[in-house]
A and B are shown apart, each in its own frame.
Chain A
Amino acid sequence: MAKSNVLKVEDLHVSYGPIKALRGVSIEVNEGEIVVLIGANGAGKTTLVETILGITHVSAGRIHFMGEDITHKKTEHIVASGICLIPEGRGILPLMSVMENLLLGAHHFKGDPSENLKLIYSLFPVLKERTNQMAGTLSGGEQQMLSVARGLMSAPKLMMLDEPSLGLAPTIVKELFRRIIDLNRAGYTILLSEQNARQALQCAHRGYVFGTGEIVLSGNAQKLVSSSKVQQAYLGGSCE
């Protein structure tokens, strides 16, 4: 079954001044997949997702989304065409209420956001409970939920999550990955960047392994999990 291509990154080069953050990175995400980026801190995963969203300038290479070239487009257009990023550290607005954060997620949504709100509330009843609370007073796990829910409000064609498990308790992390799988089953295409390599690969279809700005390994997620190279470098011992 040929899946349509949602995201195609070709030979991307990104620099921060004299520092080369990405050197010739190419990845692909197809419809209905969960694709995982794993690798150490600073290897370039965050740079990649931020560049896809148009936040960082591209020195060379191309980014295609749903067939359209979005390489040098502005963030607001990229978000409007259907990509959302749930950033590392949640990126919610602590001084605004849960409901307002959600409404902000629908900023580009054409149409009545209240339908989306209903759907969100049914998926995440906790958020409905706390709908008027200030987002800053939520627990870490709830904030992560809010962040994901906010992304969903725009009915995105591609959801990118940057290190969603960061700072969360292990039981919450398990729950988080379950939710990600649920969302995927509901039809969302997901690009996930994670340091928590084992759990991320276990729920994904395919994966890319990052090492200092380059892709060093890629392929089927289950094969990557069992690959000895990956196990040594990224899955470590029982710390995971």
Chain B
Amino acid sequence: MEIFIAQLINAIALGSIYALLVTGFNLLVVVGGIFPFAYSHIVVLSMYMCWFAMKVTGNSLLAGILAGVFSGTIFSFITEPIFRPLAKRQAQLGSFIVAMALALILTEVMAQKLNMGIVISIPQNLQGKEALIKFGAATITAGQIATILGSIASFLGFFYLLYRTKQGRAFRAMGQSPFSARLLGIPIVRTRIYSYIIAGLMGGISAIFLAMAIGTASSSLGDNLALKVMAVAMFAGVGNLGGGLVAALILGLAEGMVLAYLPGDWSQAIAFGMIMIIVMIRPKGLFGTMV
């Protein structure tokens, strides 16, 4: 029984990470106006930056965390000009293909240039594997607690921004009707840039939690994550923030439980299978789409 609870906690932690990723993803869809296939790859790149920072500072926890979070934010910000002409033309399929190309480039960079393509291993002190709570044969690690609490805090912050601030209103207005937003004098390009920054920030935070949860990163992680994030987004309906959250938790739970009993490759196949089935049955996603 305790083992089950421990695995449940693990699954929730995993689900929280997916939820963060999906939220950033959806933000880019709704406000950025693109299909950010490369978002997960930027997150993995941030994991590499975190690892690198810890390497050069003798495993400093602070350096790693700052590097990861800042990398995510900055890399996302840098990609905005690339997508700007496509977002302007509302060429979503085009933006998807460009994102695919970007994802491939990032994967190649990680596969060939960073750490000479060898899988990176996150230092122990960031992984947070020390058990904080023990009950019976099961343990809950510091990493898991940090992930769950950190995710909750991030979400609270994000939804506060979205529903209680001027900028958040501007985001939602742009998401619902870019034309009306324009008429209101909301600066379209600048608001998009902000959405990239926020999404990047969430991505950077996810990178840290991922580093804790998985402990390693490789160039193939980007594609792996991207597909899962898309599975969740499509499952809930692309652009649907609330639905995405729920669906992410479901995926996290499913994957966490599956991983406990089946080899790793199958969790990927399940995610892909999920996408295919959802897309075939309800192309608009389970909860409908805002896009």
Which A residues form the contact surface with B (CB < 8 A)? 53, 55, 74-76, 78-80, 85, 87, 91-96, 100, 103-105, 107-108, 150, 154
Contact (Cβ within 8 A) A79 B185: yes
Pick the residue among A76, A85, A150 that contacts B186 (CB under 8 A): A76
For chain A, what secondary structure do more than half of its interface residues adopt (helix, strand, loop), or is it mixed?
loop
Cβ of B180 within 8 Å of any chain A Cβ, yes or no, is yes
Whole-angstrom distance between the alpha carbons of A85 and B187 in the complex?
16
Whole-angstrom distance between the alpha carbons of A77 and B173 in the complex?
18
Contact (Cβ within 8 A) A75 B166: no
For chain B, what secondary structure do more than half of its interface residues adopt (helix, strand, loop), or is it mixed?
helix
Number of B residues whose C-beta is below 8 Å from A?
16
Contact (Cβ within 8 A) B183 A80: no
Whole-angstrom distance between the alpha carbons of A150 and B184 in the complex?
9
Say yes or no: A76-B172 contact (C-beta < 8 A), given A91-B179, A92-B180, A107-B166.
Answer: no
Contact (Cβ within 8 A) B188 A76: yes
Whole-angstrom distance between the alpha carbons of A181 and B134 in the complex?
74
List, in ascending order, chain B residues with CB within 8 A of A55's CB. Answer: 182-183
Cβ of B177 within 8 Å of any chain A Cβ, yes or no, is yes
- Closest A-chain residue to B187, C-beta based? A76
Whole-angstrom distance between the alpha carbons of A74 and B185 in the complex?
9
List, in ascending order, chain A residues with CB within 8 A of B166's CB. Answer: 103, 107
- Closest B-chain residue to A94, C-beta based? B176
- Closest B-chain residue to A153, C-beta based? B184
Interface centre among B173, B176, B185, B188, by most A CB within 10 Å? B185
Which B residues form the contact surface with A (CB < 8 A)? 166, 169-170, 172-173, 176-177, 179-180, 182-188
Quote the shortest CB–CB distance from B29 to chain A (angstroms).
16
Pick the residue among B169, B185, B188 that contacts A108 (CB under 8 A): B185
Contact (Cβ within 8 A) A96 B176: yes
Quote the shortest CB–CB distance from A100 to chain B (angstroms).
6
Contact (Cβ within 8 A) A91 B185: no
List, in ascending order, chain A residues with CB within 8 A of B184's CB. Answer: 79, 104-105, 107, 150
Contact (Cβ within 8 A) B180 A80: no
Q: List 23 A-B contacts (CB under 8 A).
A: A55-B183, A74-B187, A75-B188, A76-B182, A76-B185, A76-B186, A78-B185, A91-B180, A93-B172, A93-B173, A93-B176, A93-B177, A94-B176, A95-B172, A95-B176, A96-B172, A103-B166, A104-B173, A105-B184, A107-B184, A107-B185, A107-B186, A108-B185
Contact (Cβ within 8 A) A85 B176: no
List, in ascending order, chain B residues with CB within 8 A of A95's CB. Answer: 172, 176
